[in-house]
Amino acid sequence: MAVHVDLGERSYDVHFRSLDTLPALLEDTDLRTGRCLLVTDENVAAHYRTPLTTTLEQAGWTVKPVVLPAGEATKSAEHLHTLYDEALSWGIDRQTPVFALGGGVVGDLAGFAAATLLRGVPLVQLPTSTLAQVDASVGGKTAINHETGKNLIGAFYQPRLVCADPATLDTLPIDEYTGGLAEAVKHAIIGDVDLFEFLEEHRTSVLARKDRDAIASAIEQAVQVKADVVSADEREEGRRAILNFGHTFGHAIEKVAGYGTFSHGEAVAIGMRAGLYLSHRRHPDTIPRDRIDSLLRALPVEEDPSSLSFDSIYAAMDSDKKNQGDTIRFVLLDRLGHAYVSSDVSESEARQAWRFAIAA
């Protein structure tokens, strides 16, 4: 099982296999055994650092593990410098790969370190969270946060290889697991009717983390959607923006409620309901609103969003538009499985969409 990301000389494969098979996968790349950095966080290290280090060492690699604190705060200049210090004082050259073992935090931080160390060393993404497997490890966005906002310092830097081991999701806290599924549902809605139907059919077992084959299949199909979008628009100059379905409202929800009140996945699930409402208003004949809404409402959201005022949500969306001209951009659907970017949503329409999104 593999998905190909087609980017010319920067092309790579995303495999859905055990981490035990990593040495064999690496043999099919131009990476050669020698020194490697294994970047991970404390939670992930507790489960996978020793077995993966042993696997790599048995295959001839010399592994330098760097274990960072878990959590979003690790995507900082301070921890980036920790990585630089560890790598450069140990001794690396331009062929020394960085293996990013963990969720999106480790992937984004280690990815940016790989992009900048010695002007670029090889990057291998080993995503262990649902979000990282479905989304963050594929497409080449790497970043750290700045005190003025998330992901403001970064680079597009594609990995040489991604190995997403479905078994690693078993140790993920359940809320992290289901939160990441929101992005899989998003990929289905914007790009793959078959995946949407698959998720409809398997929603109970996939959400309850009860059917590893169905989970692995859903993730692979979701990655295929992202790979197709990224292959067509690597640097988000156009079509890649459709991956932001649900994110205009979603980012505003996270910000207004205070980061951490709603997880990213919960905020995006609510945001997608708003996007669905707007899409159905424009395309009532081609959008099966109730059907899509039913799958969206299956995604668990712990907090009640109705205490957030629309005015504060709208103000947050308005201030977030800073890099996109004068209008707020929304990703809408013209049919299930096909999305586009719209800049002509009025404030009153957005208010109605919010009411729909937060309705019980």
Q: How far apart are CA 147 and CA 155, in angstroms?
A: 18
Does the footprint of ligand NAD cover residue 49 (CB under 6 A)?
A: no
Q: Which of 102, 122, 159, 275 binds ligand NAD (CB under 6 A)?
A: 102
Q: Does 151 bind ligand NAD (CB under 6 A)?
A: yes
171 touching ligand NAD, by CB under 6 A = yes
Nearest approach, Cβ of residue 102 and ligand NAD (Å): 5
- In the complex, the smallest distance separating the C-beta of residue 291 from ligand NAD, rounded to whole angstroms, is 26
Tokens 């156009």 map to which residue? 238
Sign of CA dihedral 112, 117, 119, 121: negative
Q: Which is nearer to ligand NAD, 96 or 125 (CB)?
A: 125
Residue of minimal CB distance from ligand NAD?
A: 104
Provide CB contacts within 8 A for 299, sequence distance 6+: 178, 181, 182, 185, 207, 265, 266, 269
| Nearest Cα residue to 338 out of 167, 216, 196 | 196
- Cβ-based neighbours of 255, under 8 Å, separated by 6 or more: 316, 320
**254 touches ligand NAD (CB under 6 A):** no
Q: Does 233 engage in binding with ligand NAD (CB under 6 A)?
A: no
DSSP string of 315-328, one letter each residue:
HHHHHGGGGS-SS-
Q: Which of 5, 38, 43, 87 binds ligand NAD (CB under 6 A)?
A: 43
How many helices (DSSP H) and strands (DSSP E) are in the chain? 13, 11
Per rule CB under 6 A, is residue 320 in the interface with ligand NAD? Answer: no
Residue indicated by tokens 């708003």: 274
**170 vs 344, which CB is nearer to ligand NAD?**
170
Query: For the residues of 194-250, what is the DSSP string, one character each?
Result: HHHHHHHHHHHHHHTT--HHHHHHHHHHHHHHHHHHHHH-TT-SSGGGGGGTTHHHH
**322: number of Cβ within 10 Å:** 9
82 lines the binding site for ligand NAD (CB under 6 A): no
Kind of pairing, strands 338-342 and 141-146?
unpaired
Tokens describing residue 280: 């159905």
Give min distance, CB of 75 to ligand NAD, in A.
5
By beta-carbon proximity to ligand NAD, the closer residue of 72 and 318 is: 72
If binding is defined by CB under 6 A, does position 104 make contact with ligand NAD? yes
Under the criterion CB under 6 A, does residue 95 sit at the interface with ligand NAD? Answer: no
H or E segment at 79?
Answer: helix 77-90
Q: Which two tokens stand for residue 7?
A: 């980017």
Task: Establish if 87 lies at the interface with ligand NAD (CB under 6 A).
Answer: no
Stretch that binds ligand NAD, among 96-104, 231-239, 306-314, 348-356 (CB under 6 A): 96-104
Q: For residue 327, is it left (φ>0), alpha (ψ between -120 and 50) or beta?
A: beta
Catalytic residues: 119, 141, 183, 226, 236, 240, 244, 247, 251, 264
Q: What letters, b where the CB count within 10 A reaches 16 and e where it falls short, cover 40-60?
A: bbebbbebbbeebbebbeeee
Q: How far is the CB of 218 from ligand NAD (least distance, A)?
A: 17
User: Does 159 participate in binding ligand NAD (rule CB under 6 A)?
Assistant: no
Residues 110 to 129 in contact with ligand NAD, rule: CB under 6 A: 128-129
Contact residue for ligand NAD among 47, 209, 239, 321 (CB under 6 A): 47
Site string for ligand NAD, 62-81 (x = CB under 6 A): --------xxx--x------
Q: Which is nearer to ligand NAD, 215 or 350 (CB)?
A: 215
- Strand, helix or coil for residue 105: helix
Instruction: Identify which of residues 150 and 281 has a Cβ nearer to ligand NAD in the complex.
Output: 150
Coil, strand, or helix at residue 17? coil
Quote the least distance from Cβ 135 to ligand NAD, whole Å.
5
Residues binding ligand NAD (CB under 6 A): 41, 43-44, 47, 70-72, 75, 102-106, 108, 128-129, 131-132, 135-136, 139, 141, 150-151, 168, 171-172, 176
